[in-house]
Amino acid sequence: QTVVTQEPSFSVSPGGTVTLTCGLSSGSVSTSYYPSWYQQTPGQAPRTLIYSTNTRSSGVPDRFSGSILGNKAALTITGAQADDESDYYCVLYMGSSWVFGGGTKLTVL
């Protein structure tokens, strides 16, 4: 069974830069998995940030960027703001299914 791994939690200082990662329990993440990233605050629907590794969704500020770092997909937030405090989920496309990571709870303090 495919398991997508994410850091359970992360913290960043206001104005700082943070990189969240998305890996596979077995193997490496590549662009062929079309990694995408979603932001969710409590009680709200998810918001799409990045799809196809590094394409920002409409309206997403350019301080959010996606990439492949080593054997993982990565979401980098530069100039973190207080309202970036959210849960972040990655998802990998497996051809006939999607597999979400467990999410990373980002704290801005």
Contact status: 88 vs other proteins (CB under 8 A): no
Q: Pick the stretch among 12-20, 51-59, 67-75, 77-85 that binds other proteins (CB under 8 A).
A: 51-59
CA distances from residue 19 to 6, 46, 66, 77, 82 in whole angstroms, order as listed = 11, 19, 9, 6, 16
Residue 78 CA from chain centroid, whole number = 13
Contact status: 38 vs other proteins (CB under 8 A): yes
CA atoms of 10 and 2, how far apart (whole Å): 23
CA atoms of 97 and 109, how far apart (whole Å): 36
Contact status: 102 vs other proteins (CB under 8 A): yes
Task: Please identify, using beta-carbon distances, which residue of 64 and 89 lies nearer to other proteins.
Answer: 89
Positions in the binding site for other proteins (CB under 8 A): 34, 36, 38, 40, 45-48, 51-52, 55, 57, 87, 89, 91, 93, 96-103
